[in-house]
Chain A
Amino acid sequence: MDDDGLVASEFATVRVSLDTQGNSPRLRLEDLRSGAVRFLDALELESIVWAPEGFLRELLDPSRHRWRDDGSAGGGP
């Protein structure tokens, strides 16, 4: 992560920042390629830390959420 909170590779570009607008701080994640934004609170972050490796592998399947063609809700922030 650089000083501007940019986490980037050739595959994705996400800006990470701390958001303090709420009653507790949250992490703000912005996908700079689409503009989509998601907030993660402390408990959600802790849950990710403790999630098994397979959890992230499932998220990385493009058809899992973002690019679905089975008629179900694709999810998203």
Chain B
Amino acid sequence: MTTTTDLRSRVEPDRVHGSLYTDPAIYAQELERIWYTTWVYVGHTSEIPQPNDYVRKNIGPQQVVLTRDRTGAIHVLHNRCSHRGNLVCDADRGNSSSFRCPYHGWTFANTGELLGFPFNQGYGGAQAKERLAGLGAAPRVESYRGFVFASLAAEGPTLREHLGAAAERIDQLCRLSPEGEVELTAGWVRHEVTANWKMLVENETDGYHPQFVHSSIFSISGSGIGALYSDKSTAVTRALGGGHSENDLSPEFRKLGVPMGWAGTPEARIPDYAAAMRAAYGKETGDEIMINGSPHVMIFPNLFIAEIQLFVIQPLAVDRTVQHVTAIQFAGAPDLNRRLVTQCVGSVGPAGMLLADDAEMYERNQRGVAQRQPEWLDLSRGLQRERTDERGFTVGTATDETSMRAMWAHYLTLMDPA
């Protein structure tokens, strides 16, 4: 097992050691100290709108069931029968007040409570329920504006403490709905790559790669987004604390000054949405929200909000990671939502061009980093021009590796708290 001393020697301010992406012992330690300790995004309340709705989700390799009980309370349950350890739920989603294990029929309420089992005389009668375990549950479950997070540690920072300034980015996203709510109801695409999960986290707010990796989709779609990731851009990369980071393109969108310019969607195409926004917030504020745009924020360790789509990162092994992707939908915005689904199909759908580009880079990167020399990955871009903004956040230009350096610094605080 790799010691934490080893880890400290593998993360430096401007470079990281390649073994951090390939060493199974480090990965095992990450599961315990990051994925099974800190707050991890699980799902959204809009995915379980009705009493007794449930969806299958994950916390890294752990399979969990996100449930809403009959009273409306939300639970995150381990998908493991307390009898012989079988998976209790198999369907991706459903509505049921109780779950019956298909192996021996042990039956649990959607709160995790054991309701009974067949032929209970073998256990001394029905009263055995009192001593036998129910489904395991995440000890801490909290939600922020519908985004449900869980921590498998009984104690630790609150969700609000964990989110810090990243919560404002969720606020920014929700404000793009005339009703102030996001709905994740468009369905999910599952992209699996042969790569370490941290390559994905780092890439999400890496503004250095889009002009190279995504040049084809930018040229085909006529998108001006690629040009915003340049040293001439007023956009910035900002470390938000807690390992969270963003590419803040809003200065460029404000220069453009066109409502929905950030989405490349002329207002004439979504008249109902624009009208609803102005009715909800007033013309000035409504226009400001629509001009300012949607966040591009990586909420450590697994939630990536990328303007119009949302990614959930799920590590399955040291070199195996799944990205679950959905089109973001805004409550009260049917005309915009239709366009967002279409745009997401083009970018991150099964034949989408954006995520396929990234997936290729992830897998090449994983193969490349396994080579022996040089042993280190460089993280120095923009280190000399980093600054602290008025709120105390570290900021670099749109293409600087500020976010990666901050992620690794936070990584060490979790992996080696001493």
> Which residues of A approach B to under 8 Å, CB–CB?
9-12, 53, 56-57, 60-64, 66-70
Q: Are the CB atoms of B116 and A11 closer together than 8 Å?
A: no
Select B115's contact among A11, A12, A57, A69, beta carbons within 8 Å: A57
Which segment, of B87-95, B142-150, B321-329, B359-367, faces chain A?
Answer: B87-95
Quick one: which of A10, A12, A57, A63 contacts B120, CB cutoff 8 A? A63
Q: Whole-angstrom distance from the CB of B88 to the nearest CB of chain A? A: 9
Q: Is the CB of B100 within 8 A of A63?
A: no
User: Is B126 within 8 A of A10, CB to CB?
Assistant: no
Total contacts A to B, CB within 8 angstroms?
57
**Cβ contact within 8 Å between A63 and B117:** yes
The CA-CA distance from A8 to B239 in the complex, in Å, is 48
- Between A and B, 16 residue pairs with Cβ closer than 8 Å are A9-B91, A9-B95, A9-B96, A11-B96, A11-B99, A53-B70, A56-B97, A60-B107, A61-B120, A61-B129, A62-B116, A63-B116, A63-B118, A63-B119, A68-B119, A69-B119
Q: Are B107 and A62 in contact (CB under 8 A)?
A: yes
Given A57-B115, A67-B105, are A62 and B126 also a contact pair (CB < 8 Å)?
A: no
> In chain A, what residue has the closest Cβ to B122?
A69
Complex Cα distance, B235 from A26, in Å, reads 67
Contact check, B119 vs A11: say whether CB atoms are below 8 A apart. Answer: no
- CB-defined contacts of B95 to chain A, threshold 8 Å: 9
With both beta carbons as reference points, the residue of chain A lying nearest to B100 in the complex is identified as A11
Question: Is the pair A10, B122 in contact by a Cβ cutoff of 8 Å?
Answer: no
Given contact pairs A57-B109, A61-B107, A61-B126, A10 touches B90 in the complex (Cβ within 8 A): yes
**Is B63 located at the chain interface by the 8 A CB criterion?**
no
Q: How far is the CB of B114 from chain A (nearest CB, A)?
A: 9
**Residues of chain A with a CB closer than 8 A to B126's CB:** 61, 63-64
A69 and B116 within 8 A (CB): no
Question: Which residues of the partner chain A approach B120 to less than 8 Å between Cβ atoms?
Answer: 61, 63, 69
Residues A10 and B109 in contact in the complex (CB < 8 Å), given A63-B118, A69-B121: no
CA distance A62 to B129 in the complex (A): 12
Q: Which residues of A contact B97 (CB under 8 A)?
A: 56, 60
Contact A62 B121 (CB under 8 A): no
Chain B residues lying within 8 Å of A64, measured Cβ to Cβ, are 116, 126
Q: Which of B70, B90, B115, B121 contacts A61 (CB 8 A)?
A: B115
Complex CA–CA separation, A68 to B115 (angstroms): 15
Instruction: Report the nearest A residue to B114, measured CB to CB.
Output: A61
A62 touches B109 (CB 8 A): no
Q: A9-B91, A60-B107, A70-B125 given; name 4 further pairs at CB < 8 Å.
A: A61-B117, A63-B116, A63-B119, A69-B122
A10 touches B91 (CB 8 A): yes
Judge whether B119 and A67 touch: CB under 8 Å: yes
- Bound together, the chains give a CA A12 to CA B94 distance in angstroms of 12
